[in-house]
């Protein structure tokens, strides 16, 4: 069978899924957690606890501050020791709540039983969205867009299909893979709930062919759940990008500047669907997530279920400690993840993985002159001309940047990945993109 995928561009980095066969391990609760107030795209949540307050697991500690924002709950029980800066991968401390752990006492209304609850009909679409909003669920693939915003389909639009992103196209990461294998039933019910919330009868779960076990298990299960279909996809990065997943599964192109819903698609990550299940059926807010800790020199690459706010350092220790030759620690995957200045930063809702790279791979190569080989053009999944745009951007030729659609760039990094001359293409793309977007916005005013 020919596997579907998107057509334009894309690259094939080696998978390096070192931790694919490692079952999810529950991380012990740390002594102290650091919970940032901004774990999502949009406005940071307003912190509603004070120093000295006693909190329980699942208690609201920061309130959503607008439509595009999300609630934040305590992931542990204990005493708030500080409301103020908490460590951040960037090295610049951000606003948050520090909680000293005492015991493990949960809010009474959270159902902690393991029994599977498939009774989706108990809830109306509105109730589902309300519960998702209350639970503070965000896109868990790394984009961290508040889930309730996505699930609220505007009145004039209609969702034709729900796409579940089980692609995990970033090399090394295996968190979604393990979740799909170990929480398959919960995932299916979660998908059903989202289908109901966005009012569609159809759902497709897109999984890349390098996860045959997940494809098999979910395909078998999907026969029990009407309307859900598993779609195996050919390996290609960046298939996990919303636009490219829609192209691969529905063969529709989201027009430039438009949203998935404009072509009738709602996209959600596999891990998010499981969180939706827990939030709606079990009343459990988003207080923990699966994080892959991996890297070629890491002793035991693993998948951990960690409470939000757990310092990443503890996860690395649990995976065998920081290797001798460490040069770079990345929050996320190697293509789009962020390099961290420290290992004290906490696990947040969007922390899909921690990748540790050895010193010899930590540095960029010295850029050489562009040899106009066109590899960046062939690789760009948006059909842009990175070699040209990066020059325009460097020379501050913003009009030319706009004429060549710099605002379409999804910052996937395929161009840099494939450039033999090691040109810093994406750095200039980002600069040009943000400047041009600013110009376009100011024009509308």
> Residue 300 carries which DSSP code?
S
Alpha helices in 291-373 (DSSP H): 312-318, 359-362
- Looking at 149-157, 174-182, 191-199, 405-413, which segment touches ligand SF4 (CB under 6 A)? 405-413
380 is a site residue for ligand SF4 (CB under 6 A): yes
Q: Closest approach of Cβ 208 to other proteins, in Å?
A: 17
Nearest to 210 by CA among 242, 180, 186, 241: 180
With CA atoms as reference, report the closest residue to 271 among 184, 162, 212. Answer: 184
Which residues are CB-contacts of 321 (< 8 A; sequence separation ≥ 6)? 299
Q: Measure CA of the first residue to CA of the last residue in the chain; give whole Å.
A: 51
CA–centroid distance for 312 within its chain: 17
Residue 372 interacts with other proteins (CB under 8 A): yes or no: yes
CA–CA dist 87, 310 (Å, integer): 11
What is the residue whose two structure tokens read 């070629």?
296
Report in angstroms how near the CB of residue 3 gets to other proteins at its nearest. 20
Contacts of 214 (CB under 8 A, 6+ apart): 166, 177, 180, 181, 207
And the tokens for 383? 């059909």
Task: For strands 78-86 and 54-55, give the pairing.
Answer: antiparallel
At a CB cut-off of 8 Å and minimum separation 6, what does 51 contact?
Answer: 80, 81, 82, 83
Residue 286: DSSP 8-state = S
Q: Is 257 in the site for ligand SF4 (CB under 6 A)?
A: no
Among 20, 287, 401, 412, binds ligand SF4 (CB under 6 A): 412
Binding mask 274-293 for other proteins (x = CB under 8 A): --------------------
CB of 394 to other proteins, least distance (A): 15
Site residues for other proteins, 167-226, by CB under 8 A, read: 171
Residue 122 as a binder of other proteins (CB under 8 A): the answer is no
- Whether 103 and 72 have beta carbons less than 8 Å apart is answered as no
Report how far apart, in Å, the C-alpha atoms of 396 and of each of 165, 382, 429 are: 37, 22, 11
Within 393-412, the residues that bind other proteins by CB under 8 A are 404-405, 408, 411
Taking only Cα atoms into account, the Rg of the chain, rounded to an integer number of angstroms, comes to 21
392 binds ligand SF4 (CB under 6 A): no
Using CB under 6 A as the binding rule, the residues of this chain from 347 to 376 that contact ligand SF4 are 370-376
What residue 423 binds from ligand SF4, other proteins, none (CB within 5 to 8 A, per partner kind)?
ligand SF4
| Residue 245 is a binding residue for ligand SF4 (CB under 6 A) | no
Q: Which stretch binds ligand SF4 (CB under 6 A): 45-53, 206-214, 319-327, 382-390?
A: 382-390
* Residue 247 interacts with ligand SF4 (CB under 6 A): yes or no: no
Rounded to an integer, what distance in angstroms lies between the CA atom of residue 383 and that of residue 116? 45
In the complex, minimum distance from the CB of residue 254 to ligand SF4, in angstroms, rounded to a whole number: 14
Name residues contacting other proteins, limited to 333-362 (CB under 8 A).
334-344, 355, 357, 359, 361-362
Among 23, 66, 84, 374, binds other proteins (CB under 8 A): 374
CB under 5 to 8 A by kind: which of other proteins, ligand SF4, none does 386 bind?
Answer: ligand SF4
Q: What are phi and psi of 327, to 5 degrees?
A: -120, -25
Tell me the Ramachandran region of residue 199: left when phi exceeds 0, alpha when psi lies from -120 to 50, beta otherwise.
left
Binding span for ligand SF4 by CB under 6 A among 133-141, 246-254, 268-276, 413-421: 413-421
Residue 423 near ligand SF4 by CB under 6 A: yes
Give the residue with the Cβ less far from other proteins, 77 or 352. 352
φ and ψ of 423, to 5 deg: -70, 140
Please report whether residue 429 would count as binding ligand SF4 according to CB under 6 A.
Answer: yes
Give the shortest CB-331-to-ligand SF4 separation in angstroms. Answer: 19
Binding window for ligand SF4 (CB under 6 A); candidates: 59-67, 82-90, 115-123, 419-427 = 419-427
Applying CB under 8 A, does 422 fall inside the site for other proteins?
yes
Closer Cβ to other proteins, 272 or 418, answer by number: 418
Q: With CB cut-offs between 5 and 8 Å by kind, which of other proteins, ligand SF4, none does residue 409 bind?
A: ligand SF4
Q: Which of 179, 184, 143, 172 is nearest to 237 (CA)?
A: 172
Which position among 77, 416, 432, 433 is part of the footprint of other proteins (CB under 8 A)? 416
- Residues in contact with ligand SF4 by CB under 6 A are 370-376, 379-382, 384, 386-387, 409-415, 418-421, 423, 425-426, 429
């Amino acid at each position: 069978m020919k596997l579907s995928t998107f057509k334009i561009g894309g690259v094939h980095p080696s998978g390096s899924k070192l931790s694919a066969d490692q079952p999810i391990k529950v991380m012990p609760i740390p002594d102290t957690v650091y919970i940032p107030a901004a774990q999502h795209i949009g406005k940071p949540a307003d912190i509603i606890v004070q120093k000295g307050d006693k909190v329980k697991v699942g208690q609201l500690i920061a309130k959503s501050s607008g439509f595009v924002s999300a609630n934040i709950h305590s992931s542990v029980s204990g005493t708030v020791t500080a409301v103020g800066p908490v460590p951040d991968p960037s090295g610049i401390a951000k606003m948050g709540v520090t909680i000293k752990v005492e015991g493990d006492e949960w809010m009474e209304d959270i159902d902690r039983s393991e029994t599977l609850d498939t009774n989706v009909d108990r809830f109306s679409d509105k109730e589902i969205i309300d519960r998702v909003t209350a639970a503070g669920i965000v896109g868990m693939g790394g984009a961290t867009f508040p889930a309730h915003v996505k699930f609220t389909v505007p009145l004039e639009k209609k969702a034709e299909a729900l796409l579940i992103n089980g692609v995990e196209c970033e090399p090394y990461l295996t968190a979604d893979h393990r979740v799909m294998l170990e929480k398959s039933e919960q995932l299916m019910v979660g998908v059903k709930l989202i289908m109901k919330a966005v009012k569609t009868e159809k759902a497709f779960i897109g999984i890349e062919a390098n996860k045959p076990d997940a494809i098999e298990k979910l395909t078998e299960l999907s026969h029990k759940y009407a309307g859900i279909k598993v779609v195996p996809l050919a390996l290609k990065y960046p298939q996990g990008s919303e636009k490219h997943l829609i192209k691969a599964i529905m063969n529709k192109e989201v027009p430039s500047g438009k949203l998935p819903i404009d072509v009738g698609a709602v996209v959600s990550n596999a891990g998010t669907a499981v969180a939706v299940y827990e939030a709606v059926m079990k009343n459990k807010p988003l207080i923990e997530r699966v994080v892959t800790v991996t890297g070629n020199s890491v002793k035991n690459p693993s998948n951990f279920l960690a409470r939000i706010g757990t310092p990443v350092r503890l996860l690395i220790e649990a995976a065998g400690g920081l290797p001798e030759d460490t040069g770079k620690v990345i929050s996320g995957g190697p293509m789009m993840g962020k390099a961290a200045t420290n290992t004290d930063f906490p696990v947040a809702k969007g922390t899909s993985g921690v990748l540790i790279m050895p010193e010899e791979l930590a540095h960029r190569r010295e850029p050489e002159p562009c040899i106009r080989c066109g590899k960046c053009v062939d690789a760009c999944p948006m059909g842009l001309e990175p070699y040209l745009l990066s020059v325009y951007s460097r020379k501050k030729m913003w009009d030319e940047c706009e004429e060549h659609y710099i605002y379409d760039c999804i910052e996937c990094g395929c161009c840099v990945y494939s450039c033999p001359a090691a040109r810093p293409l994406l750095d200039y793309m980002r600069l040009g993109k943000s400047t041009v977007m600013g110009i376009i916005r100011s024009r509308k005013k």
